[in-house]
Amino acid sequence: MRVSDLMNDRPIVIRKDDLVTKARSTLRDSPYEILPVVDDERMLIGMVTLSDVLGITSTRSNIRVEGIMKDVGFVLSPDTEIQEAVKKFIQHGDIEAPVTTEENILVGAISSRDILRGVVESRKKPKVKYVREIMRELPFTCLPDDPVSKVWMKMRSESHKACPVIKKKKFIGYLSQREILSAGFARIERESSRIKSSTKVERIMRPKIITTTPDSKIETVAKKILKFDVPYIFVEKYKKIIGILENNDLLRAYF
């Protein structure tokens, strides 16, 4: 199986001269976390991430994409074997990657979710059997009445994309970069002393949808995370959240 078998051959792109506000709205209205930046010949020249647009202050909201775009971590070829693509995703910690020709022309994009779906549909057997063998420890939690700005700054400083929300020792939902952006909150990193800091997590968090257990089978969890279309699944034991799994974690189980 190759990247060309699973990639999206019509990726959403943005130009370096576009306003950051356009990048923000494009990411808010799409399921992606990365926007490739291309020139008029569709040559890949950089990328903008969801985290990038959340870090822009109001005084800089009129700047161009060129002012915040960063170098692309890695690219894949349409002919790259899926196993090699998975290694790159895990090595770089990314969940999406652009697909280019040898001339660096953008021809597609692929995510770890795309690969996981392909793996499940092909009925490939995982190399490990249970969630407890690959789950990661829970980084930190937050409370429903915590300010969004406070939680976001902690997520960003510790490079975490999601935070489970706990109320009376029970898991009730989670907050991620996606919820923050989708709710219309941006530029909060340097505005924590303003009115936005009073916005509580419970107002924009995503309610609890699904969880799994340490003894659940990898194949079952992979199907579940795809069925419910969520980027994370939290691991629960005795009604307490003890870990987290993302698509990349599940791919490690197969490769």
Residue with tokens 């399921």: 31
- Residue 197 reports pLDDT greater than 90: no
Phi, psi of 232 (to 5 degrees): -135, 155
Which region, left, alpha or beta, applies to residue 125 given φ > 0 means left and ψ of -120 to 50 means alpha? beta
Question: Which CA distances in Å does 206 have to 11, 176, 182, 246?
Answer: 26, 8, 11, 16
- What is the pLDDT of the chain when averaged over all its residues? 89
pLDDT bin (cut points 50, 70, 90) of residue 238 is confident
Which region, left, alpha or beta, applies to residue 93 given φ > 0 means left and ψ of -120 to 50 means alpha? left
Q: What is the pTM of this model?
A: 0.86
What is the set of domains in the chain, with CATH numbers? Answer: 3-121 (3.10.580.10), 131-254 (3.10.580.10)
Residue 37, number of CB atoms within 10 A of its CB:
25
Question: What pLDDT does residue 169 have?
Answer: 86
Question: What pLDDT does residue 57 have?
Answer: 58
Identify the three-state secondary structure at position 44. strand
d(CA 83, CA 2): 8
d(CA 56, CA 35): 16
* pLDDT (tens digit per residue) in 76-108: 999 999 999 999 999 998 899 999 999 999 999
H helices of the chain, in order, are 3-6, 20-28, 50-54, 82-92, 112-121, 148-157, 177-182, 201-204, 218-227, 247-254
- Residue 195 reports pLDDT greater than 70: no
* pLDDT (tens digit per residue) in 15-34: 999 999 899 889 988 888 89
